[in-house]
Structure 1
């Protein structure tokens, strides 16, 4: 795994979350059972440290985070729909559903919005777990092929014909293609 792949998780989880917790704890604004929770608590805590403008800053940062999350997840969904079925109808239905969810989320009670978000995240997790279970043996075969090439002292390269049972692979060539091409060079 690339070290850079874990940098985002490290920065978000360890640095941002820890810094936010320390800001709240050191500000004295946290009162167990108090009215301030969530973003309002962070805004009040940061404002007590650096002034009133911090409240606006936190609001802008939260807006940008939410907006970029919606755009990113929308893109993931649209790309997957295009991959599964090239259909303008399904894309239009998806786009209307996204707009509907954004509108619903902006006017519904926060509890319902979070419950629906949890439900849809659970559905995505279940879908991914099913895919992992179905593709598990293929992944193990690919790992074994990789490890075998490493043991032979090779720089591992994946060829689609090195794992039996793979169908409709478009991205990788066959061993025969590459061995002929490398001999020609």
Structure 2
């Protein structure tokens, strides 16, 4: 029971760290997607979690287990283990490939999370001093993380992401009933044979919706669009 529980805890921590499910960061990006129904974007976001956790992470684990490099009691970090496992299958260039891929992944993740953090901060305050303090804190954390070992960085990330998850889970609990209503509307249209369900804000008059984003008569708004113009240009 202890072994199984430990494996589940480690899997959940690494899984959440990989796909950010439940942390509230992905909705910031998903919210700017141009879709006819919010339920459609929700399906895409759910598929991204499946793709990351069940496909990519499983492939990495199978590579390590089937490469023959891993032995019980291995004390190196996961990156070294992945590099050596790939090198055992495809040759020494596998280590270079993992290093380059990881560098690009880390760089884009830093920019992505910084962008989300700055946007959230500007929603709360436009004070430039606060913004400069935030930027300084981000740079300090990047320098600190580059000087620490991987276990320390992961431990720090686990603590901070747990705090982030608690805040987001409270918001999700408050929005649970609204989310179910939107999901039911999407599912009902799909069961009725509608290929691309359309969100009609008239069905949700009690909610504080942005009518520019979700018009009360979506079919009429679609007909008002200029004809013969490619969707990309519109």
Q: Select the residue among 88, 91, 101 that pairs with 2:128.
A: 88
Specify the alignment match of 2:70 in structure 1.
30
TM-score, normalised with respect to structure 1 = 0.75
Q: Larger RCO: Structure 1 or Structure 2 (Cα < 8 Å, ≥ 6 residues apart)? A: 2
Which structure has the highest helix share of the two?
1
Specify the alignment match of 1:20 in structure 2.
60
Specify the alignment match of 1:158 in structure 2.
201
**CA–CA distance in 2 between the matches of 1:52 and 1:69?**
26
Classify 1:159/1:93 alpha carbon distance in 2 versus 1 (closer, same or farther; 3 Å).
farther
Kept in 2, the 8 Å contact 1:43–1:55? The answer is: yes
Deviations 1:40-60 (CA, angstroms, capped at 9, x unpaired): 111111111111111011011
Quick check: 80-89 or 23-32, which moved more? Answer: 80-89
**CA–CA distance in 2 between the matches of 1:173 and 1:6?**
22
TM-score, normalised with respect to structure 2 = 0.61
- Paired residues for 1:70-89 under 5 Å: 70-89=110-129
Report which of the two structures shows the higher radius of gyration computed on alpha carbons.
1
Structure 1 residue ranges without an equivalent (≥5): none
1:44 aligns with 2:80: no
**CA–CA distance in 1 between the matches of 2:121 and 2:103?**
27
- Paired residues for 1:45-64 under 5 Å: 45-64=85-104
Classify 1:49/1:136 alpha carbon distance in 2 versus 1 (closer, same or farther; 3 Å).
closer
RMSD value over aligned CA atoms?
Answer: 3.4
